[in-house]
């Protein structure tokens, strides 16, 4: 690594004080003559000087860096959210640390703490759902925006999606198709808000007059338990109702169900109808393209970044509208 030039070197080279160089670097051109300005510009250009952000951060205690903490970074949903966040941040000159909690509450805490040490300016968090208290504490000291998943009894700014609407669209669609039986295969809800919202709404609907003639059941499944899914599908297929359907709670479960159905030689929609959550990239290349509830994931990320950065820039301390809920949509394809 070659010896970096410091502001002092440049000051000497240019024959001015470091103060003037600093002013130049910060674009305060009105407070210097055109000559010195041009002179400094040429010196900097000539020697390829690059100021140290580290030193600057230390001095002004602002790092122009945001930590993004995702419960599970490596699923398509997170990827899209990340894309949105990244886009807005880079537009505004912010850099992001992307961190993966790997679905571990413990790791989520560790990683958030590490990031405070890095002196990030703020946090965007897609929480594991198990650190409400901890995160509320962090939010007292740092600007925080929640993405996708809410935290109860807090007014931390949050961007999410209309999950109740999502499950409602799916059920209504299936009802129109005369389904007599709807099984909702949801990932285990834990304290994860979107899952709970969907499950709650699903149960609520099962009590409504409109759907009284439908057998509706919610079954929590983990993608890791392939056997459970298999056993369920076997029983499900054997059960007598003839207009059966499944709603899958995310892309990974959809994938598993399709895979297992394949192994069992079950056909969709011949043996049962299916609606998935999340419009994954492979949804439309299946033998029968999958009907899905699509979420505006990219936009969720973009909005979250916007919320955080406008907060950092003090554009809106008036924290009305702390909760932003984006609509979802049903994309009808061939599995229904």
Candidate list 38, 42, 46, 52; residue touching DNA; CB under 7 A: 52
Contact between 313 and a copy of itself per CB under 8 A: no
Candidate list 2, 45, 48, 59; residue touching DNA; CB under 7 A: 59
- β-pair type (273-277, 122-126): unpaired
State which residue, 30 or 50, has the beta carbon closest to a copy of itself: 50
Convert residues 137-176 into a mask of x (bound to a copy of itself by CB under 8 A) and - (unbound).
Answer: ---xxxx---------------------------------
19-48 residues in contact with DNA (CB under 7 A) are 19-23, 25-26, 30-33, 35-37
Reading the block at residue 27, the tokens are 């674009």
Piece of the chain touching DNA by CB under 7 A; list 1-9, 165-173, 198-206, 269-277 = 1-9
Question: What's the CA angle centered on 154, arms 329 and 167, to 5 degrees?
Answer: 20
State which residue, 27 or 207, has the beta carbon closest to DNA: 27
Candidate list 23, 40, 44, 63; residue touching a copy of itself; CB under 8 A: 63
Convert residues 253-272 into a mask of x (bound to a copy of itself by CB under 8 A) and - (unbound).
Answer: --x--xx--x----------
Candidate list 8, 28, 38, 119; residue touching a copy of itself; CB under 8 A: 119
182-201 residues in contact with DNA (CB under 7 A) are none
Q: What φ, ψ does residue 160 adopt, rounded to 5°?
A: -145, -160
HEC sequence for the chain:
CCCCCCHHHHHHHHCCCHHHHHHHHCCCHHHCCHHHHHHHHHHHHHHCCCCCHHHHHHHHCCCCEEEEEECCCCCHHHHHHHHHHHHHHHHCCCEEEEEECCCCHHHHHHHHHHHHHCCCCEEEEECCCCCHHHHHHHHHHCCEEEECCCCCCCCCCEEEECHHHHHHHHHHHHHHCCCCEEEEEECCCCCCHHHHHHHHHHHHHHCCHHHCCCEEEEEECCCCCHHHHHHHHHHHHHCCCCCEEEEECCHHHHHHHHHHHHHCCCCCCCCCEEEEECCCCCCCCCCCCCEEEECCHHHHHHHHHHHHHHHHCCCCCCCCCCEEEECCEEECCCCC
Size of the site for a copy of itself (CB under 8 A): 42
Q: Which does 8 bind (CB under 5 to 8 A by kind): a copy of itself, DNA, none?
A: DNA
Q: Which does 71 bind (CB under 5 to 8 A by kind): DNA, a copy of itself, none?
A: none
Contact between 58 and DNA per CB under 7 A: yes
Piece of the chain touching a copy of itself by CB under 8 A; list 54-62, 149-157, 161-169, 188-196 = 54-62
Reading the block at residue 212, the tokens are 């009284």
Contact between 222 and DNA per CB under 7 A: no
Helix intervals (H) in 92-125: 105-117
- β-pair type (329-331, 291-294): antiparallel
Q: Which does 2 bind (CB under 5 to 8 A by kind): a copy of itself, DNA, none?
A: a copy of itself
Q: Which does 216 bind (CB under 5 to 8 A by kind): a copy of itself, DNA, none?
A: none
Convert residues 85-104 into a mask of x (bound to a copy of itself by CB under 8 A) and - (unbound).
Answer: -x--------xxxx-x----
State which residue, 56 or 180, has the beta carbon closest to a copy of itself: 56
Q: Which residues bind a copy of itself (CB under 8 A)?
A: 1-2, 50-55, 57-58, 63, 65, 74, 79, 83, 86, 95-98, 100, 113-114, 116-119, 140-143, 255, 258-259, 262, 280-282, 284-287
């Amino acid at each position: 690594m070659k010896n970096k030039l410091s502001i002092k070197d440049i000051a000497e080279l240019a024959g001015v004080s470091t103060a003037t160089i600093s002013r130049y670097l910060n674009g305060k051109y009105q407070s210097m003559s055109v000559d010195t300005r041009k002179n400094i510009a040429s010196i900097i250009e000539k020697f390829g000087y690059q100021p140290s952000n580290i030193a600057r951060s230390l001095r002004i205690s602002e790092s122009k860096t945001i930590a993004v903490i995702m419960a599970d970074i490596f699923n398509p949903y997170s990827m899209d959210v990340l894309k949105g966040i990244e886009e807005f941040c880079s537009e505004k000159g912010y850099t992001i640390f992307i961190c993966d909690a790997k679905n571990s509450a413990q790791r989520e805490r560790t990683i958030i703490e590490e990031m405070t040490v890095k002196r990030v300016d703020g946090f965007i968090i897609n929480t594991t759902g198990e650190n409400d208290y901890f995160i509320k504490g962090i939010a007292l000291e740092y600007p925080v925006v929640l993405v996708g998943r809410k935290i109860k009894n807090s007014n931390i700014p949050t961007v999410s999606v209309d999950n109740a609407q999502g499950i409602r669209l799916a059920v209504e669609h299936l009802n129109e198709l005369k389904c007599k039986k709807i099984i909702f295969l949801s990932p285990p809800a834990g304290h994860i808000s979107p899952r709970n919202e969907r499950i709650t709404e699903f149960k609520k609907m099962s009590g409504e007059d409109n759907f009284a003639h439908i057998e509706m059941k919610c079954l929590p499944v983990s993608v890791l338990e392939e056997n459970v899914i298999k056993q369920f599908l076997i029983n499900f297929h054997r059960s007598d109702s003839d207009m059966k359907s499944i709603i899958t709670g995310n892309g990974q479960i959809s994938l598993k169900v399709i895979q297992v159905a394949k192994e069992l030689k079950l056909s969709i929609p011949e043996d049962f109808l299916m609606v998935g959550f999340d419009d994954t990239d492979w949804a439309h290349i299946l033998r029968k393209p999958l009907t899905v509830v699509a979420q505006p994931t990219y936009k969720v990320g973009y909005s979250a970044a916007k919320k955080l950065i406008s907060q950092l820039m003090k554009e809106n301390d008036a924290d009305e509208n702390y909760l932003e809920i984006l609509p979802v949509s049903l994309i009808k394809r061939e599995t229904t």
